[in-house]
Amino acid sequence: MDHFQYRDGQLYCENLSVAALAEKFGTPLYIYSQATIVGVLKSLQTAFAELNPLVCYSVKANSNLSILKVMQEAGSGFDVVSGGELYRVQKSGGQPGRTVFAGVGKTDEEIAAGLNAGVLMFNVESEAELDAIVRVAKNLGKVAPVALRVNPDVDPKTHRYISTGKKESKFGMDIDRSLALGQAIVGNPNVSMIGVHMHIGSQITTTEPYAGAAGKAVTLIAQFREMGHPISWFNMGGGFGINYRGNEAKAIEEFAKVIVPVIKPTGCHIAMEPGRVIAGNSGILVSRVLYTKQSGEKRFLIQDAAMNDLIRPALYESFHRIWPVSVPKGFPAPPADYEAEIEGTQHWDVVGPVCESGDFLAKDRSLPALDRGDLIAVFSAGAYGMVMSSNYNTRPRAAEILVDGDTARLARRRETYEDLVEQELAAIGAPGALG
């Protein structure tokens, strides 16, 4: 359950009117709901309670410091995939000892930063990366805690760009290679293999891929223990899907039902790296209609959010629910099914101002007639939204606000033109350049 609800045809985030927030903070605007973020975290902690879970929120889904701080205060650990994300965790008050360091291309500097900070473990993606971790740990006189990232070769049945757990993926290693690597590091004084890691993809809406992965993990954990490795963690990665359209994703409790009984007999703690399921439906993107335009049979709704603000539709052909912030009389709020014909609506391509045909938020979408100045909400935009934004077309990045009950705080101010040229001014000897 998220906290973006219509009351009398007006969209609210928790107790605040979205229209009033857009008036105050401008558009395009990302709005996040703290109650939703914390609510999902609690359901994960409850559903997996039997395994004493450590939720390591996947920072890459939404790395705003205010969100990391909320997560940290609510008892979350973190999953980082770069030195920059580790830096953010530290800046927001997060504990490195509750942070796992993943990522397929860790540099020596990033490995050293992780070791010096004291991360819980590194998720190791290849033999060569383990060599690097051992070498850096030796130089620092440390023992690196690691988990091998294993591809269980299950098909997560998700978009090909976000599927990672199959044999032919660039991530992790297959089971045979992981067993050989496990054997090779027995007795190595600079590494301690304390876990097994599997992350099989993202936006996974069915439980079968997890059941398959967990089953394979149990066998592997036993094999590693036999070699003498003190495996005490099973890190199941992230990937829980969310409802972008309606009810397509299984509830967290359903995932727990197939995973908990399988892992329980191993005695392992479970770590998980959920990103999308926490942030996704905790955020919306609000934009304002600039123009409407008709070319032939096509109607275009040109509004002030673009692919530089939210690239998911262009990159993954993903679907986001879109509906007016103030619903015109006679229309449902919200519609029962955003993809069905809605009486009285017309079909619109919802597009932004960027000079690319790929710059769209939705195609052929049923919407009431809208005019210049009207506000629309793009739902499920909290994950992989702002973090993937850019300054393409020299567009300042949107502002982000975090709502908690009756209060809204600016979590990131809207960028200015000065922000955008700052790194370049010195090169042209411009007056006012810092360098």
Ligand X SMILES: *Cc1c(COP(=O)(O)O)cnc(C)c1O
Q: Which residues are catalytic?
A: 355
431 CB neighbour count, 10 Å cutoff: 5
Provide the greatest CA pair distance for the chain: 72
Amino acid at 146: V
CA-to-CA separations, 42 to 5, 45, 47, 216, 380, in angstroms, rounded: 20, 5, 8, 28, 19
Measured from the CB atom, is 233 or 348 closer to ligand X?
A: 233
- Closest separation between CB of residue 64 and ligand X, Å? 15
To ligand X, the closest distance from the beta carbon of 224 in angstroms equals 19
Contacts with ligand X by CB under 6 A lie at 58, 60-61, 79, 81, 102, 199, 202, 237-240, 273-277, 383
Structure tokens at 170: 């660039």
Instruction: Tell the smallest beta-carbon distance from residue 274 to ligand X (Å).
Output: 5
Whether the Cβ atoms of residue 170 and residue 103 lie closer than 8 Å to each other: no
Q: Which is nearer to ligand X, 88 or 199 (CB)?
A: 199
Instruction: Give the residue with the Cβ less far from ligand X, 158 or 303.
Output: 158
The torsion angles phi and psi of 312, rounded to 5 degrees, stand at -55, -45
E strand map for 9-160: 10-13, 16-17, 29-33, 54-58, 77-80, 99-101, 121-124, 144-151
Tell me the torsion sign for CA atoms 35, 36, 38, 40.
Answer: positive
Minimum distance, C-beta of residue 126 to ligand X, in the bound complex (Å): 14
- Are the beta carbons of 276 and 57 closer than 8 angstroms? no
Question: Closest distance between ligand X and the C-beta of residue 221, in Å?
Answer: 19
CB 216 within 8 A of CB 152: yes
277 vs 362 by CB, closer to ligand X: 277
Cβ proximity to ligand X, 202 vs 366, nearer residue: 202
Amino acid at 367: L
